[in-house]
A and B are shown apart, each in its own frame.
Chain A
Amino acid sequence: MDIILQAVINGLLLGGIYAVVALGFSLVWGVMNVINVSHGAFVMLGAFATYWLFVLFGLDPFVGAPLAMVALFVVGYAIQKYVINLVVRAPIYMTLILTFGLDLLIVNLGLIAWSADFRSVNTAYAGQGLVLGPLVIPYARAGTLLLALLASAALFAFMDRTRTGNAIRATRMDLEAAEGVGVRIDRIYALTFAIGAALAGLAGGLISATLPITPIMGLTYTGKAFVVTALGGLGNMGGALVGGIVLGLAETLGATVFGPGYQDAIGYVLLVLILVVRPAGLLGRAYYA
């Protein structure tokens, strides 16, 4: 029983990270119809930015991660404005290839700069946690979940309450109508991609607080983003949050039942099953079919 409870706790904590990774990925896909395969590369950049802030300036990863988020926002804005916007209306597989090219470029430059070695952010509180009887809640992971939930709440408020957020939602719902009422599509696209990259950067920073990082870590998280997006429904932000938590729980519970080797396979089997049974995701409907 304790093992199951601990697995649930670990799953919730892991799911928070998956949710933030998938939020940005799902947003970009839903609004622009672009599958950003380089999303994982942005996660990696966020992780390394946080790592270097920690190593060079002694900045705590929970301070570094928001700074990485700002940096990735700028990078994302520039990439969308000067590269992806040029071909954003091409068939979906063209933008897929484009972002795969970006991914190759970023990851391999990262490999040259930082080598493939694993690195860790060794904080004073690493490995410590709140002990509740037989259960342990690691501080770093709890902080990660907290920041993940805060970021999601901020994003939801932004999309709901601000004019710009509403413009993004309008663009997602009906591109031509949004253009007709004066929404500058190119800027909205750049902003959307910037938010997506910023969330990836934040997720990377949070990951670096709890797990070892390497320049080739991104692909795993692109894969997770795929699974969560399919679970939650394309472009559905509430769905991304729920989907992230569901995937985290499914992985840790599955690993407890079937053995740790199957943790990643469970996610993909779940993905295919969900797609076949409920192509629009667990919640809500698809924006693009």
Chain B
Amino acid sequence: MREGDRLAAPAVGALTRGRVGAGSLAVVALAVGLLVLLGVPFVGSGYVVRFLTELFMLIVLAQAWNLIGGLSGYISFGHVVFFGLGAYATGLLMVRLGLPFAVALAGAALLAVTFAVLIGLPILRLRGHYFAIATFGVAEGMRQIVTTASGLTGGGMGLNVPPLRPPPFLAAALGGNVAASSGLYYYLMLALLVVTMLVTWLVMHRRLGFGLRAIRADEDAAAVLGVDCTRYKTIAFALSALFPALAGGIYAIWFSYIDPVTVFGLNFSVTMVIMTLLGGIGTLWGPVVGGVLLSVVGEVLWGKFLELHSAFLGAVLVLVVIFLPRGVVATAREGRKALTPAAIRRNLRRYSV
């Protein structure tokens, strides 16, 4: 584990800077890290497995938000709508039509992507605040509709989703260290996380990513230079809808109960934004770093101050915005220099009146 960490640190740095020189070392480090994660259900406790499953899910959500919010600068404030749609579509296709999980999940992904394109075409024309409000409106409106259409969705009472039977070989391999079903959901989320990271990396190093960054810098200039802004934004929005929908589908069978307040909750939308900002917006590893920090801090506070937990989280957010406005990854890259009183004062003066 320690060996892996030591190797990973420079490799992560190299990847975030997009340098190719340390490429092979980075790949080795990532492979080691992945092997460690693959081994967790064999040795870790049920608590650790569950904690990591949730962490993977949150990082997937944050990274998906980062694809549209970080790269193109279109700040979505209702991204949970795709998570909720994924959860409900998967659950409903399984419960009402009796479809197997994999088929239901594919259907849910298709539905969420279609919805993203349909809703994206009009609202991606809005800029800045108006886009943020529109996404918020879409998510809240969808929550209300799912709550009210109780004949189909079960309404506020929620929906019971049949759990997935884990394959026998998994139970045999895990040898009873943790329940086979916990292992199954863990591996599903881990696989989704790996795919999300790979796709994000690809997008960032391909034409699409460059186009999106150009849109963030100056959309009108990008259009003049020949970037097909509408097409780029719509593709990015559809991709950023796909992964939360898949995460929602896995969440539905993992918890085997979903309700509108939870799976369309504003908390998820905000968590995506916060994790990305905390780590570093628009970077590949920002959502990962931010997600790990937020989850660990949240878990520690949760254990120590059961009642004050959320209030503390609020205070942490306030402090992060004031003292680390550019995120942990960018600040850490500057090393010790970033933490001197002069640097902190400079940070404060940059955005104050």
Contact = CB atoms under 8 A, between A and B. Distances in A.
Interface of A: 29, 35, 83, 85-90, 92-98, 100-109, 112, 185-186, 189, 219, 223, 226-227, 229-230, 234, 259, 261-262, 264-265, 268-269, 271-272, 275-276, 279, 286, 288-289
B266 A219 contact: yes
A103 B126 CA distance: 27
Interface of B: 69, 75, 77, 122-123, 125-130, 132-134, 136-138, 140-141, 144-145, 147-148, 266, 270, 273-274, 277, 307-311, 313-318, 320-322, 325, 348, 350-353
A89 B130 contact: no
A289 B352 contact: no
Given A35-B132, A100-B314, 7 more contacts: A92-B132, A93-B132, A96-B77, A97-B321, A101-B313, A272-B134, A275-B126
Given A94-B325, A272-B123, A261 B147 contact: yes
A79 to B, nearest CB: 10
A88 B351 contact: yes
Nearest to B141: A268
Nearest to A184: B353
Contacts, number: 152
B130 A100 contact: no
B137 A275 contact: yes
Contacts of A90: 321, 325, 350-351
11 contacts: A83-B318, A92-B128, A95-B321, A97-B273, A97-B274, A97-B321, A98-B322, A108-B311, A112-B311, A262-B148, A271-B133
Contacts of A259: 148
Given A89-B351, A98-B318, A108-B308, A275 B134 contact: yes
A279 to B, nearest CB: 5
The list of the 7 closest CB pairs from A to B, nearest first, reads A101-B317, A104-B314, A268-B141, A105-B314, A265-B144, A108-B311, A271-B137
A246 B123 CA distance: 22
B65 to A, nearest CB: 11
Nearest to B131: A275
Given A109-B311, A268-B137, A87 B351 contact: yes
B351 A86 contact: yes
Given A88-B353, A189-B353, A288-B129, A265 B145 contact: yes
B134 A276 contact: yes
A289 B127 contact: yes
Contact of A105 (B122, B273, B315, B321): B315
Contact of A276 (B123, B277, B322, B348): B123
B232 to A, nearest CB: 20
Given A89-B353, A261-B148, A289-B128, A97 B141 contact: no
Contacts of B127: 289
Contact of A272 (B141, B148, B353): B141
A185 B353 contact: yes
Contacts of B129: 29, 35, 92, 234, 288
Contacts of A269: 137, 141
B230 to A, nearest CB: 14
A109 B308 CA distance: 8
Contacts of A35: 129, 132
Nearest to B127: A289
Given A101-B314, A102-B314, A93 B325 contact: no
A274 to B, nearest CB: 9
A279 B130 contact: yes
Contact of B310 (A87, A104, A265, A276): A104
Query: Most chain-B CB neighbours within 10 Å: which of A98, A103, A265?
Result: A265
Given A89-B352, A94-B277, A272 B321 contact: no
Nearest to B134: A275
Contact of B318 (A105, A189, A275): A105
Contacts of B137: 226-227, 230, 268-269, 271-272, 275
Nearest to B309: A108
A185 B353 CA distance: 7
Contacts of A262: 144, 148
A107 B313 CA distance: 12
B136 to A, nearest CB: 6
A229 B136 CA distance: 13
A29, A106, A227, A259 interface centre (most CB from chain B within 10 Å): A227
A36 B35 CA distance: 44
Contact of A100 (B75, B144, B317): B317
Given A88-B352, A101-B314, A271 B130 contact: no
A271 B134 contact: yes
A288 B128 contact: yes
Contacts of A85: 352-353
A247 to B, nearest CB: 12
A249 B350 CA distance: 44
B228 to A, nearest CB: 21
Contacts of B148: 259, 261-262, 265
A148 to B, nearest CB: 23
A104 B267 CA distance: 10
Contacts of B141: 265, 268-269, 271-272
B249 to A, nearest CB: 24
Contacts of A186: 353
A7 B134 CA distance: 27
A108 B314 contact: yes
Contacts of A219: 266
Contacts of B318: 83, 98, 101-102, 105
B310 to A, nearest CB: 4
Contacts of B130: 230, 275, 279, 286, 289
Nearest to B307: A112
